Structure 1
Amino acid sequence: MTPSPKTEVVRARIDGVIKHDAEEILAALGMNMSDAIRIFLHQLVVRHEFPVELKAPNATTRQAMNAPGEGSFESVDELFDDALK
């Protein structure tokens, strides 16, 4: 694949919270959204497959995910607060 000038534009609608959170994470990595999209698309082309493993949970996993129980948390923050004690 021969490098070419970056002249194409990709646009996508995305939830504002997801965008904000992703931008914070990317900034911590020294990247911006355009960098991440370019890396993602480059890997898609190089691998000829989706570069992130996607799996649908099976019935047992879905049941466990939906079952409240000991160790259940109302939010991710609550989970991390508990884990970091």
Structure 2
Amino acid sequence: MWGTFAVGLLARPWARQAAGFALAALTITLFILNLRRTAERAGRAAERIDRLERHDAVHRQMLDAAARRPRSRDDLLDRLRGGEF
């Protein structure tokens, strides 16, 4: 019965036009929702990149400080006597 009703309803021109508008609205809605989800993913990726860059900068500073450290106690004494600390 419902199949006959649906076929009979879609046989009318105004019903076909309404179905077309409904499909167009559904398509636009799904497109907008997909754009929103893509933007959220891009935002998370940007946050991850920022966090990684900060981590790399701190790590680079630690490596630079380790490269400048005195190699032995004698070097440490020379730097302390010279007032370089």
Judging by fraction of residues, say which structure has more helix.
Answer: 2
Shorter-chain TM range is under 0.3
Point out the structure with max Rg over C-alpha: 2
Q: Under a length normalisation based on structure 1, what TM-score does the superposition of the two structures give?
A: 0.24
